[in-house]
Amino acid sequence: MINRFSRVAAILAAATVQMMAPAPAFAQEDTTTAGPAMEDAARQGSVYDGDWLSVGLGVGYGPSYDGSDDYVLFPAPLVQGSVGGIGIKPRPAGIAFDLVPDSASGANFSFGPSLRYRSNRSRQVKDPVVKAAGDLDAAFEVGAAAGVSFPAVLNPYDSLSFSTDARWDVAGAHGGMVIEPGVAYFTPLNRGMAASLSFSAEYASDDFNDYYYSVSPQQSLASGLPTYRADGGFNKVGTNLLLGFDFDGNLENGGLAAVVIGGYSRMLGDAKNTPFTSIRGSADQFFAAVGIGYTF
């Protein structure tokens, strides 16, 4: 039962699709029947016991580039599942694979390749000054994801997960490395509703930060922004709250479900001090998304 709800946690947390919030109050949510209801579900089996796949589509609302104070709408597709013992886990504009089978009890470990398409400042830039500095090339990052999840932390059905992705650009855009550590807590609120609270950070190399946050003399001349040289370091920290709702009131039997996400992140270091953020944008970054998916 615990591992089944760990799988439910994975699919809900993945729907963050920018994994990326202050939480509404749940004081009036009735959880007194959660235990018996989940025990009934355990006896009936779960769609997550074998091979399964979840597909969905949502819409997100967030900054037009990292550090922007202009906001845009964007599509948020979702594909997640487990096929032949290989886990499929979404990433922001990417995907990761888990090659380590789940254990029958205790901690679960994950490890596998991680891929991401990064389009920061390559499109949807609304600020005319930043636009004048020139569009950047999109990056394609390849690396690995690793993590560990501990079930039954505060109740029999919750889980606490730690993860890290490390990737390198192979498309010749930023040409650097990025590391993204995170921690997430998942708990069902009742049989048909669950929540996931996550915290994440981004650390990047000199090449990465120079590409996205430096202002070269040519960019300064074109945009009027002062020149700036960015070095590597932590670029942001953030928190997100995700709520999942199953339409038939049973999270374990698959079918249609909806997800609502809210998030906040704070730019740090040279990513905060760059003129793209400090003059034309904001260090405070907000994110929201809603989506619907089907699991079978």
Q: pLDDT tens digits, residue range 147-175?
A: 999 999 999 989 999 999 999 999 999 99
**pLDDT-wise least confident of 102-111, 208-217, 221-230:** 102-111
Over 80: is that where the pLDDT of 232 sits? yes
Query: Residue 257: left (phi > 0), alpha (psi -120 to 50), or beta?
Result: beta
pLDDT in tens, 32-72: 333 333 333 333 568 888 899 999 999 999 999 999 999 99
Over 60: is that where the pLDDT of 1 sits? no
Contacts of 213 (CB under 8 A, 6+ apart): 67, 228, 230, 235, 270, 271, 274, 276, 277
**86-91/255-267 β-pairing:** unpaired
Predicted confidence at residue 204, as pLDDT, reads: 98
Q: What are the DSSP calls for 217-256, one per residue? A: HHHHHHH-PPPB---SEEEEEEEEEEEEEETTS-GGG-EE
Cα(252)–Cα(45) distance, integer angstroms: 8
pLDDT-derived band at 12, boundaries 50, 70, 90: low
Predicted confidence at residue 45, as pLDDT, reads: 61
C-alpha distances (whole Å) from 70 to each of 16, 113, 140, 216, 269 are: 21, 33, 24, 23, 21
SS3 assignment, position 263: strand
Alpha helices in the chain (DSSP H): 2-14, 34-44, 128-132, 206-213, 217-223, 269-273, 275-278
Say if residues 102 and 82 touch (Cβ distance below 8 Å): no
Give the residue-averaged pLDDT of 226-239: 98
Predicted confidence at residue 251, as pLDDT, reads: 86
Round the average pLDDT of the chain to a whole number and report it: 87
User: Domains of the chain, with CATH numbers?
Assistant: 2-295 (2.40.160.40)
